[in-house]
Amino acid sequence: MNSTKKNYRQKSLFWKPIPSNPLWQQKKPTAHGSTVATEAIDEIGRQDRVDTTQAMTGTHVLVNEAQNELLRRYEMDIKARFDDIEAVLKDILTQQGKPGFVAWANQALFAKLGVKLTEDDWQSELNFQPQKAFQKLYAKTLFAQFIRMSEDFYINDPLMGQRKQEAERIFKEAGFHAVGIAPCADGRLAHVVSYVLRLPYDAVRRKAHAGSLFDISESVRNWVFIEHTRFREGKPNAAEEPTRYLKIAVYHFSKADPTHQGCAAHGSDDQKAAEAALTKLKDFRQAIENRFGCGASVQTLLIGMNTDDDSLKIHIPNEQGKVCLQRFVETDQLYQQTADLSADQAKQAIEHAIDDCNLNRSSTAPQPGVNTLIAWLIANNFSQLAYVNRYENGCYSDIGHAERFIGVGNGFEEVQLRNLSYYSFLDTVEEGVNDVDVGIKIFKGLNVKKGRPIPIIIRCDYDGRVPGSKDRAQAKAVRIEKALHNRYQELSASGLLQTMPTLRDFTGCQPAERLPSLADFSA
């Protein structure tokens, strides 16, 4: 597939053009090659400073171009599989009068999208009126594409996310034995691990929540499990080794349209989003200290992500590990400042910038291991900045929501692409109701208004080593599916809410297993 930029989705319902402003007269090229004014005034009359830098030209010495090409091919291929569903199905459904339609339709579907449905799927849905038939077939085809993607992801490892040895070595040398990342559930952050930070998905734990408001109790339980495994089995390293657990929270913002395309959970208020994520990190650290008296075993890191171009604002901890919203470095600026340096010079410049960030604000420099890790993450992000610059003209065309489906439950490591899925970690719908409500609201604009159903994939992971774990996970998935249809009864009754429960054994690289859905039982 052609790796050049191609838009498969229409602009999000929430996208709106930035109006012209008579004050925008002196313009300079930005990091993503467009132009913005040095100063602008938003609609409430507040004057904001717009960062301006030189356009990215040439190739930065720390950019991995070969990796960028691999990631681009994967992104374009996977998204095309989902985005072509509507057009392909509508074209097939115009041929219903063809003799042997069902067999022909399945062959046509496989030829164009690489998946098949059962004959029962076609026969049962064609008994409905055309729009209803399209909605049901659309959801079933999308679900089939997800299962296909999951199989490819875990079996073939196209992003090489199972090759985690190098990342784990760097983590340990920096003084960390495990890393947990809590991004916002917004689909524009779904690629934060494999693309934005360039980390192997199997080397970190990702749990997404709306507004980055992760569950502290759940995070503490996970920390206890990790430390117990170190104590009993010496994995990933021995308990006596002086390493720590790293918890990263990732909030997000939009520089292009800050009052509309920021975090919906915080009313597109960047300050509130950052403060809320930082509060969660502080509370998590305090919970560990209060319960176990070992605060030194936990390090927290706060990262802000500009969803327009994937640049990062990394808040630098001081020597005691404390984070401050006013102390940060921005990766797009560092990219420009180090563009003409050699690899060693660029790495040194990044490390100096991290220390200077705190020292220039009358604080202490971070611990050496923390500096090393942050510098590595910044260098990784340089490749993503070059990726967006090359393939997206420096700024995503879909700066708003453009997700293809909603994922709820746990797991979903196979979703590593921007705006592919709105994902929310949850154990029960009641506990995660706020996250799910946000997702439903988004998809009413993305899908329902265009006559497409809202597809929700439910995932419950289980431990294949534990007797009864799979049965309990299956019961949980069924319970979540019923709760979703009960909560959104109007959408469910009209066929605009379609669900697929799945399971997965997280102890290996097995793909998702599809369970019978409520729709299957009713049929």
Q: Which residues are catalytic?
A: 186
Give dist(CA 179, CA 177) in Å, integer: 7
**Other C-beta atoms within 10 Å of 404: how many?**
26
CB 150 within 8 A of CB 143: no
Beta-sheet pairing, 244-253 with 298-306: parallel
Beta-sheet pairing, 405-409 with 176-183: unpaired
**Closest among 476, 453, 312, 282 to 381, alpha carbons compared:** 312
3-state class of 246 per DSSP?
strand
Give dist(CA 147, CA 82) in Å, integer: 12
Beta-sheet pairing, 205-206 with 176-183: parallel
Q: Tell me, what amino acid is at 216?
A: I
CB 271 within 8 A of CB 218: no
Burial of 490 from C-beta contacts in 10 A (0-12 / 13-18 / 19+): exposed
Can you name the residues that pair with 457 across neighbouring β-strands?
407, 500
Give dist(CA 327, CA 325) in Å, integer: 6
**Cis peptide bond upstream of 236, omega within 30:** yes
In whole angstroms, how far apart are CA 22 and each of 40, 214, 254? 9, 42, 22
Q: Please give the backbone phi and psi of residue 179, each rounded to the nearest 5 degrees, phi first.
A: -135, 130
List the Cα angle 301/434/17 in 5-degree steps. 80
**Structural tokens at position 358:** 């705190």
**Structural tokens at position 523:** 């049929």
